[in-house]
Amino acid sequence: MPSGLSRRQLLAGGAGLAAISMAGSGIARMVTAPARTMPTRPLMPLVFAHRGASALRPEHTLEAYALAIADGADFIEPDLVPTKDGVLVARHENNIAETTDVAAHPEFADRRTVKVVDGERQEGWFTEDFTLAELKTLRAKERLGLTRPQSMSVDGKFPIATFDEIVALVERDGGKAGRKVGLIPEIKHSTYFAGLGFDMEAKLVAAIRASAFLQSVPLIVQSFEVGNLKRLRREIGAMPNVQLMQLFDDDAARPADVVAAKGKLTYGQMATPQGFAAVAQYADWVAPQLRRLITLDAEGKTGPRTAFIADAHRADLLVGCYTFRPENQFLPVNYRYGGENERFEAGCVGDIRRYTTAGVDGFFTDDPRIGRLALTDWGQD
Delineate the domains of the chain, giving CATH numbers in brackets: 7-93+142-374 (3.20.20.190)
Residue 13 pLDDT class (50, 70, 90 cuts): very low
pLDDT digits (tens, 9 = 90+) for 284-305: 999 999 999 999 999 999 999 9
Tell me the CA distances in angstroms from 100 to 29, 61, 120, 132, 253, one per residue in order.
Answer: 43, 11, 20, 14, 29
CB 323 within 8 A of CB 351: no
Quick check: 31 pLDDT over 90?
no
Residue 43 pLDDT class (50, 70, 90 cuts): confident
Residue 178 pLDDT class (50, 70, 90 cuts): confident
- The mean of the pLDDT values for the chain is 89
Average pLDDT of the segment spanning 208-222: 96
Quick check: 16 pLDDT over 70?
no
Quick check: 14 pLDDT over 70?
no
Residue 3 pLDDT class (50, 70, 90 cuts): very low
CB 188 within 8 A of CB 225: no
Count the helices and strands in the chain (H runs, E runs): 14, 17
DSSP annotation of 41 reads: S
Q: Which of 19, 53, 54 is nearest to 33 (CA)?
A: 19
pLDDT digits (tens, 9 = 90+) for 101-118: 999 999 999 999 999 999
Q: What is the pLDDT of residue 146?
A: 86
Tell me the CA distances in angstroms from 74 to 181, 329, 358, one per residue in order.
Answer: 5, 26, 20
Q: Distance between CA 227 and CA 231 in Å, rounded?
A: 6
Quick check: 1 pLDDT over 50?
no
Burial 285-294 (b: 16+ CB within 10 A, else e): bbbbebebbb
pLDDT digits (tens, 9 = 90+) for 152-170: 999 999 999 999 999 999 9
User: What global pTM score does this model have?
Assistant: 0.89
Q: Which of 238, 246, 250 is nearest to 276 (CA)?
A: 246
For helices 163-177 and 62-70, give the axis angle rounded to 10 degrees.
Answer: 20
Q: What is the pLDDT of residue 39?
A: 30
Higher pLDDT, 16 or 129: 129
CB 363 within 8 A of CB 378: no
Q: Distance between CA 88 and CA 85 in Å, rounded?
A: 9
CB 100 within 8 A of CB 156: no
Concatenated DSSP letters for 168-180?
HHHHHHHHHHTS-
